[in-house]
Amino acid sequence: MILITGATGLVGSHLLFQLIEAGENCKALYRSEHKIKLVEKLFHYYNSPDAEVLFSNIIWVKGDLNDPESLESLFLNVDYVYHCAAKVSFFKADFEACMKENRNATANVVNYSLKNGVKKLCYVSSTAALGSNSNGATTEETLWAPGSDVSGYSVSKFSAEKEVWRGIEEGLSAVILNPCVILGPGDWRSGSLSIFRSAKKGMLFYTSGSNAVVDVRDVARALSLLMNSNIVSERFLCIGENVTFQYLFTALSKRFNTAPPKIAIPKSLSLFAGTVLEFISQISRKRNGFSIETAHSSYKNIVYDKTKLMQAIPIQFYTLEETIDNSIRGRLQ
């Protein structure tokens, strides 16, 4: 039996589809009934003729990774765990929530995996849990370091990874995957996918930073390949393409047939906007996707090296154009 936490999220839902289609027995953790319906739409998008049969094979379990009562039944008869659940937020007001949903929940997953004799844990971390190499490409060996421009989300994912490494020291077989910005079919109203909604409206401005993007199908594939390998006690960067934000926004604009961004925004202006919007979000309790931490990250120029993963498993990555096309055709809402 395979347990997938965060099964209704972008990564979890794609992983769930791949495993169910391959005939695996999966127990899927969820919180919202509405999101289950989105997963069903995803199944229809990828395999409409067999979607209903495949979807009916999922064992859905409603629960909370911070609730001991939920955990007791959740881990019953589980052999393998994919821990995909996480809270992603770059608002300072959400720091404690990120620590609870990322570090504390991961500690619980590790503890119950050890308690129930789970054969292997595959943890979905993030590039945010690593440092950045200003003199070249960032690798798995680039150490995370605190700083004034380090996001609370980064702190929470780094802390969560420490819980996995602690579990490994206590005898747990585990492997860690560190994806970058993940794109794919999903709800454009949340997370990294909100960039599609912005691009469809038109993007006149861009920031001078760069990052990496990866197709969610590649993330799911990498997870299953690592789980079914003898690889343990390792971490792997999962990177599709390193791109500047201007290049990414231009590629999206081209797909939506809107004008490409041509005006570079000064960092000082972005930080001002982030400060104002974050203040408004604290009053309204609504997160609009842009914050002080988002502004800082938008000007960092980071390049990642995916050599280690490509040498460890047989994987080829989708191109950025293929990823954008699939994300748009498979939009869920």
Find the CATH number of the domain harbouring 133: 3.40.50.720
CA 137, 165, 218, 99 torsion-angle sign: negative
- Do residues 219 and 14 lie in contact, with contact meaning Cβ atoms separated by under 8 Å? yes
Please report which confidence band the pLDDT of residue 92 belongs to, taking 50, 70 and 90 as the band edges: confident
Lowest mean pLDDT among 44-48, 143-147, 284-288: 284-288
pLDDT surpassing 70 at residue 47? yes
Kindly state whether residue 270 falls inside one of the protein's structural domains. no
pLDDT at 277: 77
pLDDT at 102: 97
Kindly state whether residue 290 falls inside one of the protein's structural domains. no
pLDDT at 203: 87
Please report which confidence band the pLDDT of residue 70 belongs to, taking 50, 70 and 90 as the band edges: confident
Task: Tell me the two tokens of residue 207.
Answer: 């920031």
Kindly state whether residue 167 falls inside one of the protein's structural domains. yes
Kindly state whether residue 281 falls inside one of the protein's structural domains. no
Please report which confidence band the pLDDT of residue 90 belongs to, taking 50, 70 and 90 as the band edges: confident
The total of structural domains in the chain comes to 1
Average pLDDT, the chain: 93
Kindly state whether residue 199 falls inside one of the protein's structural domains. no
Highest mean pLDDT among 71-75, 205-209, 310-314: 310-314
State mean pLDDT over 168-176. Answer: 98
Q: Which residue has the higher pLDDT, 279 or 27?
A: 27
- pLDDT tens for residues 215-230? 999 999 999 999 999 9
Report the alpha-carbon distance of residue 280 to residue 273 in Å, rounded: 11
Please report which confidence band the pLDDT of residue 276 belongs to, taking 50, 70 and 90 as the band edges: confident
Kindly state whether residue 116 falls inside one of the protein's structural domains. yes
* pTM of this structure: 0.94
Kindly state whether residue 193 falls inside one of the protein's structural domains. no
Torsion angles phi and psi, residue 264, rounded to 5: -80, 130
- Do residues 252 and 241 lie in contact, with contact meaning Cβ atoms separated by under 8 Å? no
CA 161, 39, 219, 199 torsion-angle sign: negative
Give the whole-number percent of the chain exceeding pLDDT 90.
Answer: 72
Structural domain containing residue 155: 2-184+212-241+303-321
Kindly state whether residue 265 falls inside one of the protein's structural domains. no
- Per-residue b or e along 129-163, where b marks 16 or more CB atoms closer than 10 Å to that residue's CB: bbbbbeeebbebebebeeeeebbbbbbbbbbbbeb
Q: What 8-state DSSP symbol labels residue 117?
A: T
Report the alpha-carbon distance of residue 5 to residue 12 in Å, rounded: 7
- pLDDT tens for residues 281-323? 777 777 766 888 888 888 999 999 999 999 999 999 999 999 9
- 316 — alpha (psi -120 to 50), left (phi > 0) or beta? beta
- CA distances to 148, 182, 272, 330 from 333, rounded to whole Å, are 36, 18, 32, 10
Torsion angles phi and psi, residue 314, rounded to 5: -80, 95
